Amino acid sequence: MTTTSGTAGNTQPDIQTTAFQILIAISIGHLLNDMIQSLVPSIYPILKQSYDLSFAEIGLITLTWQGTASILQPIIGFITDRKGQPFSLPIGMGFTLTGLLILSMATNFPVILLAVGFIGIGSSIFHPESSRVARMASGGRHGMAQSLFQVGGNIGSAAGPLVAAFIILPGGQGAVAWFALVALGGIMLLTRVSFWYNAKRKAMAARAQSAPFIRYPHAKIGLSLIILSLLVFSKFLYMASLSNYYTFYLIEMFGVSVRDAQLYLFVYLGAVAAGTIIGGPIGDRFGRRTVIWFSVLGVLPFTLLLPYANLQWTIALSVIIGLILSSAFPAIVVFAQELVPSKVGAVSGLFFGFAFGMGGFGAALLGAVADRTSIEFVYHIVSYLPAVGLLTIFLPKDKIS
C-alpha cells in the first residue's frame, strides 16, 4: 500500500515512502469515529428538552464522555508503546457502537451517562494507536500526516451537527441507532488498517534500529511538555465554549431556530477542519513553533471581538477563530512527539486525552457558570484564554523555525 519508486537499494525522499492509502484510510476512520462522537453534543437540545436537564447536567454528560476518554488515552498509549496492539482499532469502534445503541434506548439520565461513557472508551482506544499509524505511514512528513489524520476527525465533528439536524432532530433520540451502521463500517475499515499496521510493526522490529535521538535535556523536555499542555488547555477550553454552547448562544442572543443554530455550528466546525489540514504542512515547512505562535496567540483579537458582534459578524468571527485556532493542534502533537520520540503512543494519548479532558472539564465548568450567570457572560470570560499563547516564547526552537 506504500507508494515507492526507484531501483532497489536507492533510498527515496519521504514523499515517495508515504503510505497515502493508509493515511487516507485512517483519516476516514477518524472521520467516522469523530462524527459519531460529535452526535453527543449535537443532540443536547433533544436531551435537554426530553429530560428537563440543566446546563450543569449537560456539562456532566460531556464530562463523563470526554473525561472517560482523557483518563484512558495516555494509559492505552503507554501500554501500546511497550507492545503494539494493532487490532485495538476495530475493538475501540466496537465500544462506540455499543454506546450508540445504549444511547438510542436510554430512558433516564444515569443510562445516558453510561452510554456516553462507552462512547468515550471507544474514542480513548482509537486515538493513541491511530495517531501512531499516521506517524508510521508518514514517510517522515509528520506534520502533513498528522494534519491529514486529524482533519478526518474534524470533518467528522463538523458532519455530526449536520446529520443531527436532518436525521436525529426529525427522528428523535431513537434515530441515533442508525449510526450503529456507521460504526460497523468503521470496524471493517479499521480491521484492514490493523492488518497493515501489524505487518509494518513486524517489519520494523525485524530491522536493527538505534535508540531514538533525544535533542534536549530532560528538564527542557519537561518544561516544554508543560507549556504545550497549557496551550492545549487554553485552546480546548475556549473551543469547548463553541462546540458545546454555540447553539445555545445563538438561540439565546439572536433568536435563531435550533436547525439554523446547528447549521451555523456546522459552518464553524468546517472552518476548524480547514485550519487543521493546513496547520501540519505549514509546520513541516516553517516549523511547529511558528505555527503555534500564530495560531494560539494570533486568534486573540477575534475572540475578544466575538461577544460584541451581531449575528452576521458572530458567524464570520467564529469561522476565523476556528480556522486559526485549529491549526495549532497538529503542530503541538508533532512537537511533543519529537520531544519524546520513544514514547509516541503515550505522548499522543496524553495530548489527545488532555484535549478531550479539557473539553469535558470546560463544558462542565462553563455549563455551571452559564447556569449562575448567562451564556453571554461565558463568552466574555473565555475570550481572554488565547493570551496563554505568550508562553510559546519559552518553547525551544525546532529544527526548522
DSSP state for residue 294 in the 8-state scheme:
I
DSSP secondary structure of 160-177: HHHHIIIIIHHH-GGGGG
| Cell triple for 299 | 486568534
Its sign, for the CA torsion 326, 77, 126, 119, is negative
Per-chain mean pLDDT for the chain: 81
Residue 401, pLDDT above cutoff 70? no
Of the candidates 143, 185, 123, 119, which has an alpha carbon nearest to the alpha carbon of residue 15?
Answer: 143
Of the candidates 196, 274, 204, 199, which has an alpha carbon nearest to the alpha carbon of residue 26?
Answer: 196
Rounded CA gap, 276 and 273, in Å?
5
Residue 102, pLDDT above cutoff 90? yes
State the amino acid at position 245 in one-letter form: Y
The 3-state DSSP class for residue 15 equals helix
Number of helical (H) and strand (E) elements in the chain, helices listed first: 17, 0
59-88 mean pLDDT: 78
Which pLDDT tens digit goes with each residue over 312-336? 999 999 999 998 988 888 888 888 8
Q: Tell me, what's the pLDDT at 184?
A: 94
Rounded CA gap, 293 and 296, in Å?
6
Q: Mention every residue, 6+ apart, whose C-beta is less than 8 A from residue 196.
A: 1, 19, 22
Rounded CA gap, 369 and 233, in Å?
18
Rounded CA gap, 209 and 186, in Å?
33
Say if residues 353 and 89 touch (Cβ distance below 8 Å): no
Residue 14, pLDDT above cutoff 70? no
Write down the residue that cell numbers 442572543 correspond to: 253
Range of 20-34, 198-212, 268-282, 343-357 with top mean pLDDT? 20-34
Of the candidates 233, 323, 288, which has an alpha carbon nearest to the alpha carbon of residue 401?
Answer: 288
**Listed range (29-38, 67-76, 176-185, 344-353) with the worst mean pLDDT:** 344-353
Which pLDDT tens digit goes with each residue over 175-220? 888 999 999 999 999 999 999 888 887 776 655 454 455 567 788 8
Rounded CA gap, 400 and 335, in Å?
12
Which pLDDT tens digit goes with each residue over 39-53? 887 788 788 888 888
Q: Could you give all domains of the chain from N- to C-terminal order, each with its CATH number? A: 17-204+216-394 (1.20.1250.20)
Of the candidates 218, 327, 229, 241, which has an alpha carbon nearest to the alpha carbon of residue 283?
Answer: 327
Q: What is the dihedral of CA 72, 94, 266, 114, to 10 degrees?
A: -60
